Amino acid sequence: MALPEVHWERHVLLPAASPCHSRIVVGMAALLCFINSYDGDFVFDDSEAIINNKDLKPETPLNNIWGNDFWGTNLSSNTSHKSYRPLTVLTFRLNYLLAGGLHPVGFHVLNIALHSVISVLMIDVFAILMGGTVSQAPKSSFLAALLFAVHPVHTESVAGIVGRADLLCALFFQLSFLTYCRAFQRGNHKGEIFSARWVIISLMLCAVAMLCKEQGITVLGVNAAFDILLICNINILELSKRVILKGKLAEVTVFFKRGFLTRVALLTFGGGLLLYTRWRIMGTGPPAFTEVDNPASFQENVFLRAINYHYYYFLNTWLLLCPWWLCFDWSMGCVPLIESALDWRVMWPILLWGGLGSLTIQALCSADGHRRRVLTLGLVLLVVPFLPASNLFFRVGFVIAERVLYLSTAGYCLIVTYGVGVVCSLRRDRQQKPLRLALLALLCTNMARCAFRSHQWRSEQSLFSSALSVCPFNAKVHYNVGKNLADRGNQSAAIRYYREAVRLHPKYVHAMNNLGNILKERNELLEAEELLAKAVHIQPDFAAAWMNLGIVQNSLKRFDDAEQSYWNAIKFRRKYPDCYYNLGRLYADLNRHLDALNAWRNATMLKPDHSLAWNNMVILLDNTGNLAQAERVGKEALKLLPKDHTIMFSLANVLGKQQKYKESESFFLNSLKINPNAASCHGNLAVLYHRWGKLDFAKKHYELSLELDPNAAGTRENYSMLRRKLHQQHKTTV
Question: Residue 278, class by beta-carbon neighbours within 10 Å (0-12 exposed, 13-18 middle, 19+ buried)?
Answer: middle
Pick from 24, 3, 231: nearest CA to 123: 24
Element (H, E) at 633: helix 627-640
Q: Which CATH superfamily is domain 597-671 in?
A: Tetratricopeptide repeat domain (1.25.40.10)
**What is the rounded CA–CA span in Å between residue 183 and residue 199?**
6
Pick from 170, 205, 593: nearest CA to 405: 170
Would you say domain 677-734 falls under CATH 1.25.40.10? yes
CB under 8 Å to 290, separation ≥6 — which residues? none
CB under 8 Å to 198, separation ≥6 — which residues? 179, 180, 182, 183
Taking residue 501's Cβ as centre, other Cβ atoms within 10 Å add up to 27
How much is the pLDDT for 253? 56
How much is the pLDDT for 172? 97
> Longest C-alpha distance within the chain, in Å?
129
Q: What is the DSSP string of 18-72?
A: -HHHHHHHHHHHHHHHHGGGTT----TTHIIIIIT-GGGSTTS-GGGGGTB-TTS
For residue 451, give the amino acid letter: A
How much is the pLDDT for 364? 79
**What is the rounded CA–CA span in Å between residue 45 and residue 160?**
8
508 in Cβ contact with 502 (< 8 Å)? yes
Pick from 178, 268, 258, 186: nearest CA to 226: 178
How much is the pLDDT for 427? 65
Element (H, E) at 611: helix 611-623
**What is the rounded CA–CA span in Å between residue 77 and residue 532?**
26
Question: Residue 596, class by beta-carbon neighbours within 10 Å (0-12 exposed, 13-18 middle, 19+ buried)?
Answer: buried
**What's 670's DSSP letter?**
H
Enumerate residue ranges in the chain where pLDDT < 70.
1-11, 13, 131-136, 185-193, 236-258, 283-286, 427-432, 730-734
CA torsion, ordered 90, 94, 99, 105, to nearest 10 deg: -60
Pick from 137, 153, 98, 139: nearest CA to 3: 137
68 - beta bridge partners? Answer: 74
CB under 8 Å to 328, separation ≥6 — which residues? 44, 156, 160, 463, 464, 466, 467, 480
207 in Cβ contact with 176 (< 8 Å)? no
For the chain, the structural domain boundaries read 291-426, 597-671, 677-734
Domains 597-671 and 677-734 share a fold: yes
667 in Cβ contact with 652 (< 8 Å)? yes
**What is the rounded CA–CA span in Å between residue 676 and residue 695?**
21
Q: What is the DSSP string of 178-200?
A: HHHHHTTTTS-TT-SS--HHHHH
For residue 83, give the amino acid letter: S
How much is the pLDDT for 11? 65
The length of the chain, given as a count of residues: 734
74 - beta bridge partners? Answer: 68
Question: Residue 720, class by beta-carbon neighbours within 10 Å (0-12 exposed, 13-18 middle, 19+ buried)?
Answer: exposed
Pick from 35, 39, 38, 40: nearest CA to 461: 40
